[in-house]
Amino acid sequence: EVQLVQSGAEVKKPGESLKISCKGSGYSFTSYWIGWVRQMPGKGLEWMGIIYPGDSDTRYSPSFQGQVTISADKSISTAYLQWSSLKASDTAMYYCARWATAVAGTPFFDYWGQGTLVTVSS
């Protein structure tokens, strides 16, 4: 069974650093891209970026480039999303999801983590 299990909720102060995780199981972790999606309170889904754990090729949405770092450790089938200096506006739910490709070549997120709630408040 394919599963993505994310780390637990975090409460941080502005300016602090944070790294959240997403552990994959039940499939070849190095063969699928993993993406990160932000959902601010009461708002929609925003594409943040994506990583291929096989070679750590990483692409970012321009909106998030330089604001976060996406990484992966294939030895433990885990992807990460990290901040070096959090802001109150980073308060949101963050989802990881597996980016799969249909036979016809059209990609989609087929499995999602349960989400990690990050709260940044002084």
Partner 1 sequence: DIQMTQSPSSLSASVGDRVTITCRASQSISSYLNWYQQKPGKAPKLLIYAASSLQSGVPSRFSGSGSGTDFTLTISSLQPEDFATYYCQQSYSTLFMYTFGQGTKLEIK
Which residues in this chain contact partner 1 in the complex, by CB under 8 A? Answer: 35, 37, 44-47, 49-50, 59, 61-62, 95, 97, 102, 104, 106-110, 112-115
Tell me the closest approach of the beta carbon of residue 8 to partner 1, in angstroms.
15
Residue closer to partner 1, measured from CB, 8 or 44? 44
Tell me the closest approach of the beta carbon of residue 73 to partner 1, in angstroms.
21
Both tokens assigned to 120: 């940044």
- Please choose, from the candidates 34, 31, 9, the residue with its C-alpha nearest in 3D space to the C-alpha of residue 20: 9
Residue closer to partner 1, measured from CB, 54 or 115? 115
Question: Residue type for 5, please?
Answer: V
Eight-state DSSP code of residue 47: E
Task: Identify whether the C-beta of residue 67 lies closer than 8 Å to the C-beta of residue 83.
Answer: yes
Question: Residue type for 122, please?
Answer: S
Tell me the closest approach of the beta carbon of residue 59 to partner 1, in angstroms.
4
